[in-house]
C-alpha cells in the first residue's frame, strides 16, 4: 500500500501518517523545541537557507524545519488526508 507523501517544499516530502503536528515557529517555546532537537540530533532543516516558516513534528520525535508557511503545509496535509490520491500543489 502506498503511503501518502506531504510536500514540505523544495522537492522534500514526509510520510503524512508520521506527522504529529505542524506549528508556527514564532514563539519562544517553539524556538526551544528547535534548539533541543538540534542538540539531540533530531533536527532536519529543509529550508535551503531561507527563513523557517513551519515546524513539523513527527511520531519519531524528529523536528523538521520548512520554509513553507505553516498554514500552507496544514492545508496540504488536510487535503492529502481527505483525498490521498490527489496531486499536491508545488
Q: Any idea where the domains of the chain sit in the sequence?
A: 5-82
d(CA 28, CA 30): 5
Please give the C-alpha separations between residue 1 and each of 4, 13, 18, 24, 84, in angstroms, as whole numbers: 10, 17, 15, 32, 12
Q: Which of 1-5, 8-12, 52-56, 68-72 has the lowest mean pLDDT?
A: 1-5
- Cβ pair 43, 82 in contact under 8 A: no
- Bridging pattern class, strands 63-66 and 43-45: parallel
Residue 90: pLDDT band (50, 70, 90) is low
What SS3 class is residue 82?
Answer: helix
Amino acid at each position: 500500500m502506498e503511503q501518502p507523501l506531504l510536500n514540505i517544499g523544495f522537492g522534500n516530502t514526509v510520510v503524512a501518517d508520521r506527522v504529529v503536528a505542524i506549528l508556527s515557529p514564532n514563539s519562544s517555546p517553539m524556538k526551544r523545541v528547535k534548539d533541543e532537537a538540534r542538540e539531540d540530533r533530531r533536527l532536519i532543516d529543509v529550508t535551503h537557507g531561507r527563513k523557517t516558516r513551519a515546524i513539523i513534528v513527527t511520531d519519531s520525535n524528529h523536528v523538521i524545519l520548512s520554509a513553507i508557511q505553516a498554514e500552507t503545509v496544514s492545508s496540504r496535509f488536510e487535503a492529502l488526508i481527505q483525498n490521498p490520491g490527489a496531486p499536491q500543489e508545488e
